[in-house]
Structure 1
Amino acid sequence: MSLTGVGKTALGVAVIRAHESRRADRLFDDPYAQAFVDALPDAFPQTADTTGIGATFVAHAAIRTRFFDDYLLGAGCAQVVLLAAGLDTRAFRLSWPPGTGLFELDLPDVLAFKEKVLANATPRCARTVVCVDLRMDWTSALSEAGFDPGVKTAWLAEGLLTYLTADEARRLMTAVSELSAPGSTLALEHGSVPAQAWRLPAQYTSLWKGGLGDDAPEWFASHGWQVRFTAFSDVAISYARTISVEGGFLTLTRP
């Protein structure tokens, strides 16, 4: 089994999470990340001291993982949806409140690889996997899987929108808005970072399509969300880390 295109970028993030988990001052511990790396050992060349991925992106991915961990656990929602979940293992590694239902949405090949690697792992919440293409109709599959639009939900779009065109991103976020009960929350990254700043191979940055772009806060506000922006640099400082890129995170709330 192999991963290609956007699916392979999920494996790159697993490489970073495995690397971070080995640090003495780690921001989180993902005990499953290395298993994904071991399943496809030649996908990202590594040495003992580096992930083989641009250092700035490594720092960014570690910070965003911890930020979104904190966001999800602090959202106070019994229903959680991970859009383009990739090789995220939060269902297995975070201490969820009793009764939490978590839905993971992604492409079939990504989730098939993930399920094979995690076959013997036990989730710490009620986990449901939904195979969909988020560029197409995905809401029906989510509803059929047990999602309740009447329950406030914590949505996460980690590292997703940049891989979508503006039209695709608007359609996706419009659907999320329509499915979000009062009190629901949504978190994602915001801010344009030049591809060269990440020091990533062109085969991956060529997949970027821009998403909602710089107007994302205004778009969300016009669709009924309360918008909060937090700069990457401020989050990094709070975690005793540094990062030299612009941008940050949007944390949105449905009034």
Structure 2
Amino acid sequence: MTDAELAEGVSTTALMIAAIRAIETRRPDGLVRDEYAEHFVRKARSGVEMPTRIEDVDAGDEDPVWGRLGAYCGLRTRVFDDAVRAAATPQIVLLGAGLDTRALRLDLPAAVRVFEIDRADVLTFKSTILDAVGATARVRCDRLSVDLAEDWDVALLAAGFSVDLPTTWIAEGVLPYLPRPVEERVLGLVDRLSAPGSHIGYEIVLGQESPEFRNHDLYAGTVEAIGSHLPSLLDGGARPDSAGALRAAGWEITERPVADYTVRYGRGPDPSVDDPIRQARWGFGHKKSRVSCLRL
């Protein structure tokens, strides 16, 4: 896959997640409220028309993409939102921020500083749309156009990030797309830049490199729905033991299956269905000390 194709695919998934947040926002029992998500979907130059209401989908909640995957991503966003609120750190870094609008839609204290890291094409589109609708955040939000495979730590420090302040790091829907060496380096930098008391939230998918996962029927409709075959965008190599590496570096980490959160929140993907969603794990934790042994 060429760099241009990857950029197009990642941008497509960012738009898909925005469409899912728009759908959640219009539900009376929605887990997420994001008044900006629909603007992204409406203004994007996409080869496919994505819905902003579940009523726009012929099969409704029975649709594998906008129904089941939508339930997964909507719940994931809410769980990670709540993790940001609970951590209550003075700095928040969104790794692979995409079209997320946490700096706008979460009621963060005015003193909090948010840093968003992603590719230039995604962040340029995001800023253009938000400026057009007059979106104003209560907190300072710096958008840093740098790929996670590059020296994003240099850009972060240059923007005023402080290694002395506890930070909440969010890697929502990010690590599964990264090659193993990049994931290891990203988490190594997170650890090096984190003061004690910092928090992290991330997603992994067990077995994502297997043919059974990549060819599963759950993803059969993604080309028609979003313009990309979703599993082909995920890295196909062996995955690292990121939880083990973080624990060895002084982090307390807990990983749980999605089913636990469906039960906790009363909404989400049906835990009884045997498909790749059952293989996803959401990890959360905090750093206890400055001891570091993660690879860079």
Q: TM-score range by the shorter chain?
A: over 0.9
- Number of the residue aligned with 2:109: 97
Alignment of 1:11 onto 2:15: yes
Alignment of 1:133 onto 2:147: yes
Task: After TM superposition, give the deviation of residue 88 of structure 1 in Å.
Answer: 0.2
Q: 5+ residue gaps in structure 2?
A: 1-6, 272-276, 289-296
Task: After TM superposition, give the deviation of residue 216 of structure 1 in Å.
Answer: 2.6
Higher helix share: 2
Q: Relative to 1, partners in 2 of residues 1:237 and 1:102: Cα closer, same or farther, differing over 3 Å? A: same
Task: After TM superposition, give the deviation of residue 228 of structure 1 in Å.
Answer: 1.1
- The worse-fitting range, judged by mean Cα deviation, of 190-199 and 218-227 is 190-199
Q: Relative to 1, partners in 2 of residues 1:25 and 1:122: Cα closer, same or farther, differing over 3 Å? A: same
In 2: Cα distance, 1:112 partner to 1:28 partner = 24
Q: Relative to 1, partners in 2 of residues 1:43 and 1:90: Cα closer, same or farther, differing over 3 Å? A: farther
Q: 5+ residue gaps in structure 1?
A: none
Q: Relative to 1, partners in 2 of residues 1:21 and 1:173: Cα closer, same or farther, differing over 3 Å? A: same
Q: Relative to 1, partners in 2 of residues 1:203 and 1:250: Cα closer, same or farther, differing over 3 Å? A: same
- Number of the residue aligned with 1:122: 136
> What CA deviation, in whole Å up to 9, does each residue of 1:36-72 have, x standing for no partner?
0000264443463328835321111000000001000
- Equivalent position amino acid for 1:231 in 2: P
Alignment of 1:251 onto 2:251: no
- Equivalent position amino acid for 2:56 in 1: D
In 2: Cα distance, 1:213 partner to 1:59 partner = 25
Larger radius of gyration: 2
Alignment of 1:205 onto 2:209: no
Q: Secondary structure at the match of 1:4?
A: helix
In 2: Cα distance, 1:210 partner to 1:71 partner = 29
Taking only the aligned residue pairs, the percentage that are identical comes to: 36
Task: After TM superposition, give the deviation of residue 98 of structure 1 in Å.
Answer: 2.8
Q: Relative to 1, partners in 2 of residues 1:210 and 1:184: Cα closer, same or farther, differing over 3 Å? A: farther
Alignment of 1:32 onto 2:36: yes
- Equivalent position amino acid for 1:105 in 2: I
Confirm or deny: 8 A CA contact 2:184 2:240 kept in the other structure: no
> What CA deviation, in whole Å up to 9, does each residue of 1:84-116 have, x standing for no partner?
100001111110023000001110110000000
- The worse-fitting range, judged by mean Cα deviation, of 223-232 and 175-184 is 223-232
- Equivalent position amino acid for 2:173 in 1: G
Q: Relative to 1, partners in 2 of residues 1:72 and 1:212: Cα closer, same or farther, differing over 3 Å? A: farther
Q: Which of residues 88, 111, 115 is equivalent to 2:123?
A: 111
Task: After TM superposition, give the deviation of residue 179 of structure 1 in Å.
Answer: 0.2
In 2: Cα distance, 1:144 partner to 1:60 partner = 36
Scaled by the length of structure 2, what TM-score is found?
0.80
* CA RMSD in angstroms, aligned pairs only: 2.0
Equivalent residue pairs, number: 253
